């Protein structure tokens, strides 16, 4: 008989606090932080630190093993591919017109970016190998040589105007394949910007824009090939809601114990993969990320997640919300597995290529990991093994609730999570984050009021949003959130 789980929850009393929403004011692209000397906290700090890792993507000794798994080989060993433009017909098919897709900024660098042994001003030194005069692969700023970028474009003419479509593997990111060029900006002269300032609007002057009829009439090229430019790219409309056109939903489930071998499924396709075991309990787990020297801000920055216990008792599942593409952009390194610090993790081998992209600090994904721990006590022991300033976790807290939801199979929960993230995929450091999601999901599965985010700062503007788990997002026509509604309409238009 399953052990009866009693409710042990946090106090629902809200403590007022003055705070500034740093995340809500940040640029949507993480390249604004890459290489900055400004310290970052939580998962963002871990991701930023990972940019210092200049080791090769894949040791040569394991290339042959990975070739046996074509998807895994592409995920880990993919390099930049340029100058293979599509035909206009194929470009129009792959990238239908219409807004709403995810936007990206890439850095267009001069072909000769090293002069007299020095990197030209305005570029992040961590993104380049000065000895070999090459661009490093898979960087957050997405650097690309000018000739490579413009040699990968296709002009698509239509009655409504012309579009320019990029096709290739941008900076070695397998998930960055096909984009429409929206705007090209030129770095202003005489400014040696810091990496934080480099992507600020004041440092750029627009020289071409698809939305400006006057600028759009000019040929898509750069006048001064010696200067740094940035390009704003727009992906297909369906990217607003998922990693693939046919499987919407920024949710993935990693099942390392599957009978067919470790696998990652995502979006609506996930519903055909996961089993029907039933959840019996849900736990809220909160901790700080380990750093050697904690700042005052580090001490109030907590990550929260849900731990699901299943009736079969053979493993548990971690469910967490975090930055979109945070796992793909961090080489599949997860705190919930012992192999996190190994060169190539089992999770990274299992990720589909389309999930390997730079992370985004204003968009969210939901991650589900089946872990070896069979119970809460075993999970506590796992966290204790990695607790300490020089390890992974600091100051863990736990609260537990029985799973009272009537339909609570693995497949049911996967559908609820898809509904939730598809209705609102925003991420904010204070307003819409891992803690607010965890509170929502625990409250929903446990059927209990008064469950709130762990830290008082995250409770200030918190409103429970259990209803988002229940309904298909694409059936809503009038959404109060105009930004989300615009993304949804753009996604739906790609099927017409």
As a whole number of angstroms, the distance between CA 128 and CA 123 comes to 9
In a domain, 449, yes or no: yes
Structure tokens at 160: 């409504």
Last residue of a domain, one of 240, 259, 292: 240
Encode pLDDT of 58-114 as tens digits: 444 444 444 444 455 556 667 899 999 999 999 999 998 877 899 999 999 999 999
Average pLDDT over residues 44-65: 49
369: β partners: 254, 318
Q: Higher model confidence: residue 50 or residue 294?
A: 294
DSSP state, residue 264: E
pLDDT at 129 over 60: yes
Same domain, 185 and 257: no
pLDDT at 32 over 50: no
Residue that the structure tokens 């750093």 belong to: 291
Q: What is the DSSP string of 139-179?
A: -TT-EEEHHHHHTTEEEEEETTEEEEEEESBGGG-TT--EE
Average pLDDT over residues 382-386: 98
- Whole-model pTM: value is 0.83
Same domain, 284 and 165: no
Same domain, 251 and 204: no
Same domain, 187 and 265: no
**pLDDT at residue number 26:** 35
- Rounded percentage of the chain residues whose pLDDT exceeds 90: 65
Average pLDDT over residues 262-282: 95
Same domain, 369 and 432: yes
Same domain, 253 and 296: yes
Phi-psi group of 397: left, alpha or beta (phi > 0 → left; psi -120 to 50 → alpha; rest → beta): beta
In a domain, 20, yes or no: no
Same domain, 139 and 180: yes
Structure tokens at 44: 């963002």
**pLDDT at residue number 158:** 82
As a whole number of angstroms, the distance between CA 292 and CA 480 comes to 43
**pLDDT at residue number 2:** 42
Same domain, 188 and 60: yes
Average pLDDT over residues 447-455: 96
**pLDDT at residue number 76:** 64
Last residue of a domain, one of 240, 269, 295: 240
**pLDDT at residue number 160:** 77
Pairing of strands 251-255, 303-310: unpaired
Average pLDDT over residues 388-398: 96
Phi, psi (degrees; rounded to nearest 5) at 254: -100, 120
Q: Which range among 234-238, 333-337, 475-479 shows the weakest confidence by mean pLDDT?
A: 475-479
In a domain, 32, yes or no: no
Q: Are 185 and 207 in contact (CB under 8 A)?
A: yes
Last residue of a domain, one of 197, 222, 240: 240
Query: Strand locations in 1-58, DSSP E?
Result: none
Angle (deg, nearest 10), helices 434-446 and 410-423:
140
Structure tokens at 193: 């910007």
Encode pLDDT of 299-342 as tens digits: 989 999 999 999 999 999 999 999 999 999 999 999 999 999 98
Give the distance from CA 177 to its chain's centroid.
16
Pairing of strands 251-255, 263-266: antiparallel
Residue 97, domain extent: 55-240
Closest CA to 143 of 86, 179, 104: 104
Query: What's the whole-number average pLDDT of the chain?
Result: 83
Closest CA to 360 of 6, 11, 32: 32
As a whole number of angstroms, the distance between CA 186 and CA 207 comes to 7
As a whole number of angstroms, the distance between CA 486 and CA 496 comes to 16
Same domain, 308 and 399: yes
Q: Which range among 122-126, 279-283, 381-385 shows the weakest confidence by mean pLDDT?
A: 122-126
Same domain, 224 and 265: no
Residue that the structure tokens 């807290």 belong to: 397
- pLDDT bin (cut points 50, 70, 90) of residue 42 is low
In a domain, 14, yes or no: no
pLDDT at 144 over 80: yes
**pLDDT at residue number 154:** 96
Same domain, 140 and 253: no
Average pLDDT over residues 355-379: 97
Tally of domains in the chain:
2
In a domain, 264, yes or no: yes
Closest CA to 320 of 449, 435, 240: 435
As a whole number of angstroms, the distance between CA 383 and CA 394 comes to 9
In a domain, 22, yes or no: no
Closest CA to 323 of 10, 3, 39, 33: 33
Highest-pLDDT range among 9-13, 94-98, 111-115, 295-299: 111-115
Same domain, 257 and 180: no
In a domain, 3, yes or no: no
Q: Is the dihedral of CA 332, 337, 343, 346 positive or negative?
A: negative
In a domain, 6, yes or no: no
pLDDT at 36 over 50: no
């Amino acid at each position: 008989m399953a052990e009866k789980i009693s409710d042990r929850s946090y106090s629902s009393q809200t403590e007022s606090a003055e705070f500034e929403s740093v995340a809500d004011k940040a640029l949507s692209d993480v390249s604004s932080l890459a290489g900055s000397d400004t310290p970052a906290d939580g998962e963002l700090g871990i991701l930023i630190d990972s940019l210092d890792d200049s080791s090769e993507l894949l040791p040569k000794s394991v290339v042959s093993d990975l070739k046996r798994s074509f998807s895994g080989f592409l995920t880990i060993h993919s390099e930049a591919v340029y100058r293979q433009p599509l035909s206009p017909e194929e470009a129009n098919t792959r990238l239908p017109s219409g807004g709403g897709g995810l936007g990206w900024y890439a850095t267009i660098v001069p072909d000769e970016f090293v002069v007299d042994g020095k990197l030209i001003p305005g570029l992040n030194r961590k993104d380049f190998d000065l000895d070999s005069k090459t661009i490093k692969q898979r960087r957050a700023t997405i650097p690309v040589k000018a000739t490579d970028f413009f040699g990968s474009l296709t002009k698509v003419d239509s009655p409504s105007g012309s579009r320019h479509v990029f096709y290739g593997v941008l900076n070695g990111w397998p998930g960055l394949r096909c984009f429409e060029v929206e705007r090209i900006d030129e770095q202003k002269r005489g400014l040696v910007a810091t990496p934080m300032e480099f992507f600020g609007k004041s440092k750029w002057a627009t020289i071409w824009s698809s939305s400006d009829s006057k600028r759009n009439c000019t040929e898509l090229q750069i006048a001064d090939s010696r200067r740094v430019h940035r390009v704003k790219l727009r992906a297909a409309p369906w990217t607003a809601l998922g990693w693939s056109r046919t499987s919407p939903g920024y949710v993935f489930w990693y099942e390392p114990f599957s009978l067919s071998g470790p696998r990652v499924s995502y979006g609506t396709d996930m519903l055909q993969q996961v089993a029907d075991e039933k959840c019996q309990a849900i736990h809220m787990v909160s901790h700080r990320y380990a750093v050697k020297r904690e700042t005052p801000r580090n001490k109030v920055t907590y990550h929260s997640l849900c731990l699901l216990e299943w009736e079969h008792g053979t493993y548990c599942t971690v469910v967490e919300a975090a930055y979109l593409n945070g796992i793909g952009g961090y080489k599949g390194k997860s705190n919930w597995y012992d192999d996190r610090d190994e060169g190539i993790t089992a999770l990274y081998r299992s990720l589909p290529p389309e999930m390997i992209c730079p992370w985004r600090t204003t968009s969210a994904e939901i991650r589900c990991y089946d872990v070896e721990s069979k119970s809460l006590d075993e999970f506590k022991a796992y966290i204790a093994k990695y607790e300490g300033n020089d390890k992974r976790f600091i100051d863990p807290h736990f609260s537990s609730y029985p799973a009272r939801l009537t339909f609570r199979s693995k497949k049911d929960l996967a559908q609820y999570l898809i509904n939730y993230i598809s209705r609102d995929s925003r991420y904010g450091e204070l307003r819409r984050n891992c803690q607010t999601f965890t509170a929502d999901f625990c409250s929903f599965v446990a059927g209990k009021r008064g469950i709130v985010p762990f830290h008082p700062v995250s409770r200030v503007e918190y409103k429970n949003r259990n209803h988002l788990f229940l309904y298909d997002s694409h059936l809503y026509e009038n959404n109060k959130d105009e930004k989300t509604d615009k993304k949804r309409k753009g996604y739906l238009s790609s099927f017409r």
